[in-house]
Copies of this chain bind each other. A is one copy, B any other.
């Protein structure tokens, strides 16, 4: 077993392995140097030098866990514990770079199956010790950093099988710890795809997608992850819940939807049955240009509402287009749109969508921007590393709103961030998930770090979150609640719902061991 340096895990203090690092495009470097005063920071503290207090779990607990899982699956090494202490938000990375980790798990547990997860929950409820389910470790909202003083991480990486495939019904049951690229490989052997490709794709897991209501870059065509879930199995301290039985049902409340988005606070998702689709025979990505974000939004809305619906649809605002975050920005203003098409025979859809885009002022930019986007579709977190290396601060946040509210949300959030960072910041935004009734908005903020970048960002993020709430949008479209969004989440759902959620947690997790401080206000 090698948990400390596998290529398949995220990097230490950065998104990916150093060998995969991506350089900033020259245009971006030049612009940044003009706009921000940046001083490259000292090199990151190496993992081995990070202080992690010794494991304080008493021998009774450890012995019981070792009996349940096998001693080699109760890992208490320094590196494993440091790596399982937090996620991948920029504040997480900055803390790593400074050699700090939040309260690290006492041990990293690696159960083999659902039954072992149930055993862990039973043992941890008895002692009690808090439990943090750990998939790909890619949370950007503090979802892996509980408020408990003593916890264990339950690393699901050994639950990495395809349990069943039903090609006629087009469903597959996938274990929670399966990473997205491996799930794709295994499904491809049967001629299928999940079509779920979020930016965290390289590291994120099936269970994580379910627990956080992930949404992928191809959501316009394949839907959100929660749309794909036909059934799921959840281990709770009270026992097993198996929710979802048929393609659709009127048999009571949809209990799947209580565990989707539950972020480890209500149980540990151990497998998920998803709707799958045949591997597309063709794919085509292309670029379009619009004079303004408003024009682009109008065109995107028409495609989302009346079709034909591309598989990928993303519209950058003027600032994001100018900076060319995708590496193909035009310098003459306006907004860039990427449309992607996957399927058996995409040409008729490409042409019909082109008619709609052109009718709404779109100017075709050809395939090259599309290819650029496809080549660089997973680059953003690597570019963040490059920005941090250059001495900049970079972070993202996101929301979703109805079409009629979207322009106002865009304005208010931008202004709130700019107000909170008075010495200058670049605020880029794009729409990348569309629905008949509205769309997501994804913001990237680049600024100088100041003397206390974590605290500075906390305030700017709070201002952005307040603006999101004030504009009636949701506090998260696909990142989740975690620890970071909890106050806004509570306000969003209201007091009666907060009490309801607490009572659900109390029922399923009477000892309160499951991810305390995450999600549930």
Contact = CB atoms under 8 A, between A and B. Distances in A.
Interface of A: 166, 168-171, 212-215, 224, 226, 230, 236, 238-243, 245-263, 266, 275, 277, 301, 305-306, 344, 399-405, 433, 435-440, 472-481, 485, 489, 492-497, 499-501, 503-504, 506-508, 519
Contacts of A306: 344
B247 A435 contact: yes
Contacts of A472: 245
Identical subunits present: 2
Nearest to A478: B250
22 contacts: A169-B437, A171-B402, A171-B437, A212-B250, A215-B250, A238-B499, A245-B472, A246-B401, A246-B402, A247-B401, A247-B437, A248-B477, A251-B474, A252-B489, A252-B519, A253-B258, A253-B501, A254-B260, A257-B258, A306-B344, A503-B504, A503-B507
B500 A275 contact: no
Contacts of A438: 169, 246-248
Nearest to A244: B474
Contact of A248 (B433, B481, B508): B433
Contacts of A275: 436-437
B474 A245 contact: yes
A443 to B, nearest CB: 15
A505 B214 CA distance: 29
B252 A261 contact: yes
Contact of A170 (B169, B249, B255, B437): B437
A477 B246 contact: yes
B246 A474 contact: yes
Nearest to A259: B253
A402 B250 contact: no
A168 B404 contact: yes
Given A166-B404, A254-B260, A478-B250, A241 B435 contact: no
Given A236-B496, A403-B169, A500-B504, A248 B260 contact: no
